[in-house]
Structure 1
């Protein structure tokens, strides 16, 4: 019998608005960015209320396994408050998704007897309004290793920046998503400056039996 798993890795800004960590428009204007204005939500990867999103779909059968992956980037909205006219203009842009990657690393398990898969999921996605790393090297960065077992065990380990929020969910056989890892920067005293290297949240680990 086939067993199917979907794993989602999503980053989002929980605030309704955040000020730019580098005010590249001064003295003419002050820059802020629209947040996603939400808490943890298993279904928000289907909307635009995120900064980055990855999904891995894994299928195990009696004769082996296969997988596919998807990725998306949320639209960034910048507000420029003019210090002279006291008016605000709105601008939108979208970062490249090239910094979102998934690699299956267990080549030795690709045979018909495979009952587990190992993936390395990486993110390094910047703000399209701050493209120069010499100005602010503040990409959203994470590296998670995922272990997916046919018997229903899902494990995650890795590191990430202290900002923004991170959520990892998984479901088996369309049975509804369960959380594997959640991190809200507000609970840890983190802010936009936590985007600067190195990744300051290390030793992430969790394992759940979802079947």
Structure 2
């Protein structure tokens, strides 16, 4: 390892709903809402329960290893009946389809995929939130990503080298693009490329 090489590079990704609650049409007379994450863009929301999906990939060049972490936030459904009665249900989406795969090590860099697919466990017909990144991490700390994702909700990706500050790699804000939850259906809507 040369003096310009780094030991650790972490890529952190998350999806979130900025508002505290979002409404949805109800099959009955009540008001149906799902809890959001009540936050804005930040690399520090991991392990707070304020992400729909969260994922980390940690590249350790000291032993050429790739360690990954994945989690989902708790989904909360609130139905308020016309008489004011409130009914709550909670559930947690599976992490089975949130993974880092296919690491390929080279002398100066490693390539791997980061992908996620998770849906609201409280709705049997919910479309999943999806993203897929192809990442290249260089021994000098440079990161190249090429990815695609749904139009909803918000998406954020950051990079950190050797326990330094997190730097933004990419952000998508559905409030700026006009996307709605219907953007979860069908193929992924957006593509992007970034290098840091």
Deviation at 1:104, TM superposition (A): 2.7
Return structure 1 stretches of 4+ with deviation > 2 angstroms: none
**Structure 2 CA distance, aligned partners of 1:183 and 1:100?**
19
2:34 corresponds to:
33
Query: TM-score scaled to structure 1, two decimals?
Result: 0.85
2:85 corresponds to:
87
Q: Unaligned stretches of 5+ in structure 1?
A: none
Answer yes or no: is the 8 Å Cα contact 2:156–2:170 preserved in 1. yes
Answer yes or no: is the 8 Å Cα contact 2:68–2:99 preserved in 1. no
Q: 1:83-136, CA deviations, whole angstroms, 9 ceiling, x for partnerless residues?
A: 3x2322222111111121210342xx36xxx3211111111101011123xxx4
**Structure 2 CA distance, aligned partners of 1:46 and 1:30?**
30
Answer yes or no: is the 8 Å Cα contact 1:36–1:49 preserved in 2. yes
Q: Kindly indicate whether residue 194 of structure 2 is the aligned counterpart of residue 206 of structure 1.
A: yes
Q: How does 1:57-206 map to 2 (within 5 A)?
A: 57-61=58-62, 65-83=64-82, 85-106=83-104, 109=105, 114-132=107-125, 136=126, 138-202=127-191, 204-206=192-194
Q: Kindly indicate whether residue 8 of structure 2 is the aligned counterpart of residue 7 of structure 1.
A: no
Find the residue that maps to 1:96 and give its secondary structure: coil
Q: How does 1:42-61 map to 2 (within 5 A)?
A: 42-61=43-62
Find the residue that maps to 1:194 and give its secondary structure: helix
The count of residues paired between Structure 1 and Structure 2 equals 192
Query: TM-score scaled to structure 2, two decimals?
Result: 0.91
Q: 1:185-205, CA deviations, whole angstroms, 9 ceiling, x for partnerless residues?
A: 101001111111111112x11
Q: CA RMSD in A?
A: 1.6
**Structure 2 CA distance, aligned partners of 1:67 and 1:198?**
28
Deviation at 1:29, TM superposition (A): 2.9
Q: Unaligned stretches of 5+ in structure 2?
A: none
Answer yes or no: is the 8 Å Cα contact 2:89–2:122 preserved in 1. no
